[in-house]
Amino acid sequence: MEFRGFPYKPYSIQIDFMKALYHSLNQGGVSILESPTGTGKTLSIICSALQWVYDRRQQDKSKVQVQSPHHSTDDAHSGSDDEPDWLRNFVPNKDNLTQEKKINKKFGFGGCDRRRNRKESCKDLFSRDLEEEDCNKRGENKCSRKKNDGVELSDDEFLLDEYESEEEGALGGGKSKRKAGGVSISSSSDEEGEKDGPDGEEEEEEKAFKIYFCSRTHSQLSQFIKELRKTLFSNEINVVCLGSRKNFCINEEVLKLGSSVRVNERCLELQKNKKNEVSKIKNFSAEGRIRRTKASSGCPMLRKHKLQKEFRNETSQHGALDIEDLVRIGRSIGTCPYYGSRSMVPAADLVVLPYQSLLSKSSRESLGLNLKNSIIVIDEAHNLADSLISMYDAKITSSQLESVHSHIEKYFTRFRNLLGPGNRRYIQTLMVLTRAFLQTLDNKKDLSNVNNYQAEEIAADKKAVCDTSIAINDFLFSLNIDNINLVKLLQYIKESNLVHKVSGYGEKVASLQEGLALNRNGEFGEEGSTLSSFRALVDMLMSLTNNDGDGRMIISKMRSTCSGLQGGFLKYVMLTGEKIFSEIVDEAHAVILAGGTLQPIEETRERLFPWLPPNQLHFFSCSHIVPPESILPIAVSRGPSGQSFDFSYSSRSSLVMIEELGLLLCNLVAFVPEGIVVFFSSFEYEGQVYDSWKKSGILERIMRKKRIFREPRSNSDVELILKEYKETIDGLSSGTKEDGVRHNGAVLLAVVGGKISEGINFSDGMGRCIVMVGLPYPSPSDMELMERVKYIESLGEPNCGKRPEISVGEHYYNGDVQTAFSILRSCRRRGKEYYENLCMKAVNQSIGRAIRHINDYAAILLVDMRYASDSSKTSFSHPTNKLPLWIKDRLVSATNNYGEVHRLLHQFFKYNKKRECQ
């Protein structure tokens, strides 16, 4: 088997990995491929997967060539609320097609008809999101009033169309009375039905074996594109990189809003608020000139569809481009790279995108991603199950509920006499729901009879107000809303365009009353706009339609604090990813889970695809490319003064422990060359240690040898810190001094689970020594975590989904560590093992940042006596059993004292420095 695209002579483990991946694609289904970080995993995935697609398309070439270039538009989606008007009617010209056909011939990736794909892409793009916009247009045409040769909209623009609902019969029997020719709103099931027709089948065959590669972070996707450029496939395939609006947006006014939520809201709003350009036309009669309005996109970056054509032509000439490249081209042309990249998806052979865009069903539908017969590669899949289910959580705060309830009440008061019985009934139902939600969060009655002194005492007691975990059905029964058909209510919200009508009316009233337009000047509340509040409510209602055992409701009541009343919230926590993941597996030809450390795979199988027999799950794991002498992992149980290291929850904050850790670092900076990266369990603990070192003078001693950098909480500042850290390491050869001190390197204080521990490579001098402080177990006091532990404990039992008997009550407190430990002790196997795996997966991700290529070398210090202790003395399994094999096999698991550690490290760096100079 040859992999012609590989740019170098591959190592034997890379050949083995590529063969395993190729074999997995032949078989189809689900495969788990494990390859340590730094072994060329990304390059191996690219060359193996693309080679397989080429070989398969060569076999099916005759089928592709006989497909008709014409395609029925019957299966086009109904439109989306963020699609620019011109995009739905866009048909590319022949010049564009000719330019595209110049590409993709050598490896057989140009066999499918681009013309049809391009036409399809612009017709189907953002299919669902323009529904409300079309409804708004009809409302404006119906209710607008002309005054003084202009157009002035009355409140009638916010009036809902009549709505009829079938009380009996199939779900979703509601019908909105609309004029013929209007764009109807089709559900996902309707669209699936359309795709099952003859035209849909033809389209699926043409798009067979498209590759979707997704990873967790923006930097990891950029790294993938860099690796792709090294291969022969780079200029032979159509590649498109997708990302968020915030990463792609080039509208400076929108970017000023900052957060992703605000950028999304403003972008969608601009697509709905069309700018009316008045143009004069010929005077056809004596009545005077006729004024005609021409609608165009509200965003200046989307007003000229010719520029979007130019964007596609430009990007097609440059091969594989990452998000930064696409943004640069978009800025130079003056058109939106976000929508430009989305329009390129149908014609792409390889789509590179973040987790959320692929794993979330609503995101897939919005982007128009077609997974039929596709190849899905999910990289960094070590926490896939938790990442997947977290996308389906829903949360709404008391302030959001109050905003929604207030807007609906005002709307109903204004239009009550103008609404039909169907609209009135559903709107009143919504008010009943929001009122019930607010009442369950209201804790004011419990605090109304206490004086200020008592209120302060209550605020100081964390257990004064508890957070409650409750099943969906129990939650609905407790609020007496179990008789409401939430499925029909959600369909009404979707079809009636209620959200935009109510929020639009509320914004107009507020604008008139306060003299300012909401959401026009970037003045958002902490939780976003009114529209965000409505969407949070809709997400919560959708969550309540899940099966009773699929998740849990968490009720956090409003509480009194010293600074005033703290708002409460409702949160739905999804617990099972089986149904969600099965939608992806059922559509795709093959799903590949790739990562550096993916074991134990049994937990992943039980949580995501329990229907798959173990013998049908393809698993491959390879060793590391570095020789044994290039890595030195040591379990460090004692410090320089002989103090045992114990960074457990109860001991880690002691000044003795923090000082001993400081003394260890003072010794390391004296002889460890170049860069040292120290990982702490949390930002809070890192800050506590740093402040203590500063007071004791340890920090000053460290800085005499190496500069100190700290990981910032804000992701946007991480790049700057890493840049300065790297420049310090690189500047050692020049012998530069800072403040008269010549440093021998730098120390980077990082946090497990932060951005630095996920996907940042510390190759060569940037990571000569990795120090892992303690075992970073997640906080057991997190109620959501404990609910997952309980659910996972039940997996594999006869009544799967039924939570195990726990020795504590259902009502417990966020922050109550002792209660959480009681839950863990009550678990027999799976729940406790899941909790351990969360810790060790985080450790493995962090320490794997150092070794990045065959000539690299690094020491790894696991600083805690629990890494070296006898597992029989603890209730948990030994942590080193869950280390990657390439580290575990070389681990120095026991040392008598720090002097032995010092000697091993000194010999290690002396040997590798000598080898490096040869």
In a domain, 789, yes or no: no
d(CA 855, CA 583): 43
Q: Look at residues 346, 379, 412 and tell me which one is the last residue of a structural domain.
A: 379
| pLDDT at residue 66, as a whole number | 54
- In this structure, the answer to whether residues 546 and 659 fall within a common structural domain is no
CA torsion sign, 869 to 875 to 878 to 882? negative
Place of tokens 């300012």: 516
Q: What angle do CA 346, 349, 352 make, to 5 degrees?
A: 90
Q: How many domains does the chain have?
A: 4
What is the DSSP code string of 219-266?
Answer: HHHHHHHHHHHTSTTTTTS-EEE---HHHH---HHHHTT-SHHHHHHH
Q: Look at residues 347, 379, 411 and tell me which one is the last residue of a structural domain.
A: 379
- In this structure, the answer to whether residues 229 and 366 fall within a common structural domain is yes
Is 322 within 8 Å of 354 (Cβ atoms)? no
Q: Residue 553 contacts by C-beta under 8 Å, 6 or more apart in sequence?
A: 469, 470, 471, 472, 475, 570, 571, 572, 573
- In this structure, the answer to whether residues 613 and 655 fall within a common structural domain is no
- In this structure, the answer to whether residues 564 and 499 fall within a common structural domain is yes
In a domain, 124, yes or no: no
In a domain, 41, yes or no: yes
- In this structure, the answer to whether residues 421 and 538 fall within a common structural domain is yes
- In this structure, the answer to whether residues 621 and 553 fall within a common structural domain is no
| pLDDT at residue 851, as a whole number | 85
- Residue range(s) defining the domain that contains residue 417: 393-443+466-510+533-576
d(CA 284, CA 282): 6
- Report which of 658, 669, 725, 729 is spatially closest to residue 696, judged by C-alpha positions: 658
Q: Look at residues 379, 406, 427 and tell me which one is the last residue of a structural domain.
A: 379
| 93 three-state secondary structure | coil
CA torsion sign, 36 to 847 to 754 to 818? positive
- In this structure, the answer to whether residues 865 and 884 fall within a common structural domain is yes
- In this structure, the answer to whether residues 489 and 547 fall within a common structural domain is yes
In a domain, 884, yes or no: yes
In a domain, 230, yes or no: yes
Residues recorded for the chain: 918
In a domain, 184, yes or no: no
Is 13 within 8 Å of 39 (Cβ atoms)? yes
| pLDDT at residue 197, as a whole number | 29
- In this structure, the answer to whether residues 612 and 491 fall within a common structural domain is no
CA torsion sign, 595 to 601 to 607 to 612? positive
d(CA 252, CA 723): 25
In a domain, 286, yes or no: no
- In this structure, the answer to whether residues 303 and 264 fall within a common structural domain is yes
CATH label of the domain that carries residue 375: 3.40.50.300
Place of tokens 């100081």: 460
332 φ/ψ angles, rounded to the nearest 5 degrees: -65, -35
- In this structure, the answer to whether residues 248 and 372 fall within a common structural domain is yes
In a domain, 154, yes or no: no
Query: Which residues of the chain are under the pLDDT cut of 70?
Result: 62-154, 164-208, 272-297, 443-466, 513-528, 560-566, 733-741, 759, 796-816, 869-876
Is 126 within 8 Å of 368 (Cβ atoms)? yes
Could you give the C-alpha distances from 198 to 73, 74, 184, 201, 557, in angstroms and in order? 12, 11, 22, 5, 54
Strand pairing report for 618-621 and 29-34: parallel
State the amino acid at position 470 in one-letter form: I
Place of tokens 């899941």: 834
- In this structure, the answer to whether residues 320 and 410 fall within a common structural domain is no
| pLDDT at residue 257, as a whole number | 84
